[in-house]
Every structure is written in C-alpha cells, then in structure tokens.
Amino acid sequence: MFQRTVWLSEREDCWQEETKTMLTSHLWLCVLCVVPVCSFIDVKCPRKDPPPGVVVISPGSRLVLTCSGHVWVDGAKVVLNGSNINKRRPAPVRDTTTKKAAAETGVSLEPDRHTASPLTVQPASASTTTMGGSDWEDKEMESDEEEGSRVTRGFKLTPQWKRTEQLVQKGDTNRGKVTFLGHGAALTLESVRLTDAGNYTCHHRGREAFAVEVVVADPPEKPSLSCYKKSPESKIQCEWRPLKPIAKVPSCYLLLSKGETHNFHQVPCSFSSQRSLCWCDLEHNQSELRTTHSAFLCVTSITGNDTSNAIKFTPLNFMKPDPPSDVTAHQEERQEKMIKVTWNLPPTWKHQCNCYDIIYEIRYRPATSVNDQVSMIRSKTSYVITNVLSGVDYLIQLRIREADDGHWSDWSSPVHARSWTAEVVDLTTPMVHLQTLADYPDGSENDSYS
C-alpha cells in the first residue's frame, strides 16, 4: 500500500511538470500572436545629405580642420565630397611641418586620394577612428634664412585661417578655445558654439588652400503628429508644430498605409518657416471613411532626421468640426425670461446637406456666475432660451458634432446678451408737471407772447 501511494505521488508530480511545460508553450505562442505587426514595419526616413563642402555638427563638438582638407569631429574623420581643396593649387605646406605632424599624430596632412558623400556629425562619446591632435605642438616655423628675413618668410609660410573673411587667431574669445596645431596647418575649436558657424578657409602663401562651410545646429526634435477631419466630406489634415526653433528648414512627408496591408507610401507635406508648421493634406475618399489609416511623419534636413510615433485613425471616428460661426444673441421684446440665439454651420463644414445628423449644445450662464446650464439642439440653427433672469447679462456659447461619428468641436467664443425688462415709470414727475400747467389756464406757456 505504501509503494502504491509513492507511485501515485510520483505520477502526479510528473503530470504537473508536463502540464507546466504545455502551459509554458501555449503562453509563448500567445506572446508571439499578440506582438503588434507594426513593430516589424520598416519605415524609412533617410537623412538629407549636406551640399558638397559642408560639414554639419552639433554644439559642443570638437572640430579640427587641416589645410590639406581633413576634417575631424570628436575624433571621427569626416571625408567631404566636392570640398574646395587646393582649388588654385598653391604651393604645399612645408614638408617638414607635414612630416613632423604626421609623426607626432599618426595622421597625414596630405589630401585624400578618394572622395565620399558629405556627412552630418553629432557629438560622440567614443569613436573607432581617433586622432592624437592633442599631441601637436604650436611652434614657429623653422627657417635657415638670416634673422632679418626670418619674420617675413615665416609670415608667408605659416598658414592662416579665416572665418567669413575675418582672421582667426589663437585665444579668440569670440570663438571659445581656439588652438593651432602643426605650425598652423590645423585649426581646432575645442567646443563648437552656434556662433562658430560660417565659411572657414585656409590660406597659404597668399592663396586659398582649403575651404569648408561649417553648420552648427542641433538635430531636429522628434515630431509629434496629429491628424483631423473637420467634416465628413473634407480633406484629412495632418500637422506637426515644432516646440523649438528650427535652425535649418526641414523636408517633411507622411508615410501612410490604409487597411491592414502595411504598404506605406509617401505623401508630400509642406513646411512654413513663418508659421513654424509642417502640414499635409489627404484627399477625401468616400469609400475609405471607415478604413483604418496608419501614419508616420518623417522630418529630415542636413542637421539630422527623425520620425514620429505611429498613429492610427478612421476618418469618420476622429472627425472634429470647427465651432459654429456667426453666433448672435438678443432679447425678445416684452419677454423677460427669453433670449433668442442664432448661428450658422462652420465654414469648414463642406456641402451643407441633410446627409448627416448634426447636433448642437448650447451653454449659458449669468456673467457673474460660474454655473452653466446646457441644452441640446438637433438640426436647427436657432434656439430660444426660456429660463433667464430678467435684466441680467448672460454669456452664451455653442458647439457642434455629427450625431453618430467623431467628436465635439471646441466651444465658440462667448457672446453677451441681456434679457428684456420693462421700463419703470417715475410717477412723481407727471405730478410736478401738472402743477406747472395749472399756472397757465389756456394750456400754453407761450400765449402771452403772441
């Protein structure tokens, strides 16, 4: 009996382990089933390449420029395509300087023999390609000439750097910490600021040896996309308004798919610098009013690129009209408890037909009160309030929506109206007037002058 009990116990333990294994397998299958399909969607938002001869960096980066055409940002080498290197083929920088700098740093100052696309560089904490620029020494150029001509010859041979036609000098407070490496063959800006942007040129023996445009700007912020539809038959409008100033005008476009296919196509958008707004219009399609749409916004410029989070919407479900327009309110003659209110559909409500069931809400309150009264109105553009207080100023607002789809509009701007009240007659005045008439029996004050 004891052995049978032990056998049953072991069998029960085995059955529990098998059950746990099966449950675990089913749970993993469930997890795989509920992973959103959109997580596997490859939405491409390529960065916009800078023009030839332009390098884009973020504030705080360390920038090194060399007369031979090298550009280093935070230790990473940037190879420019089409940059102005030795445009007029001036005499090369003195060989002893080049060879000495190369020996000290392991970096050649000779122009590259290959070209590549221009790059946008942002600050990096570490890089696989580094340079030992800190080992370079700032020494005056050696010369075998006599003492009298040494200054003149040194001035001619030492490269000079200019920013927007102004000479860059060591310790220039307008540009933070500026140093020259390799006898002036390289210019270093230790921590680039927004004010350091400009055209940098290296001049050697009176000629321009190298030129590059430096753009200093933060990459664009992550966009936040919002879309809306103002009437059943209007276009879908999507937009993004940056929270920070835009340094370089970006290009923006919508990545849109309809239904469950996840086949995204590009919809061009526009960006207004004056309004600081990116917006896109999607044409109205009657057959897609209840079709699920998925959308991303891509924002790209030479300073960087980013995409918004995905949003999903059904055109009719996210419809939000503008508030009613032309709202007026006035008192009703000899009706102390009534104010009549009239309004029109919003101008953006397309095709004023009876195809849709429109409802309104009106709210009103005395100007000195905070408690609103609300009434619902269906398919009319006028309403008489019948429970106001006599002779009291009221604030009145309206909003609109389609009865079955979408959301309420915002409230209209408040209008003021004062309920009607009868004039109060002062009975003492006629009595005084009658006493004055008694002094003139013939009824005319001016008869004595006739």
Q: What is the dihedral of CA 202, 207, 210, 216, to 10 degrees?
A: 50
Domains along the chain?
A: 54-216 (no CATH), 226-313 (2.60.40.10), 325-418 (2.60.40.10)
**CB distance 364 to 373 below 8 Å:** yes
pTM for this prediction: 0.61
- pLDDT range class, residue 298, cuts 50, 70, 90: very high
Instruction: Quick: pLDDT tens for 57-92.
Output: 999 999 999 988 889 999 889 877 665 554 433 333
At residue 233, the 3 state secondary structure works out as coil
**CB distance 281 to 235 below 8 Å:** yes
Name which residue leads in pLDDT, 438 or 234. Answer: 234
Asked which of 87-96, 296-305, 419-428 is least confident by mean pLDDT, the reply is: 87-96
pLDDT for the residue 353: 61
| pLDDT score of 326 more than 50 | yes
Q: What is the dihedral of CA 343, 344, 346, 348, to 10 degrees?
A: -170
Percent of the chain whose pLDDT exceeds 90: 41
Spatial distance between the Cα atoms of 376 and 266, rounded to a whole number of angstroms: 42
**CB atoms near residue 409 (< 10 Å):** 22
- pLDDT range class, residue 2, cuts 50, 70, 90: very low
What does the block give as tokens for 59?
Answer: 């504030």
Task: Please give the backbone phi and psi of residue 198, each rounded to the nearest 5 degrees, phi first.
Answer: 155, -175
- pLDDT range class, residue 132, cuts 50, 70, 90: very low
Asked which of 8-12, 312-316, 318-322 is least confident by mean pLDDT, the reply is: 8-12
DSSP assignment letter at 191 = S
Asked which of 199-213, 346-360, 410-424 is least confident by mean pLDDT, the reply is: 346-360
Name which residue leads in pLDDT, 106 or 360. Answer: 360
DSSP assignment letter at 143 = -
pLDDT for the residue 64: 93
Spatial distance between the Cα atoms of 147 and 360, rounded to a whole number of angstroms: 95
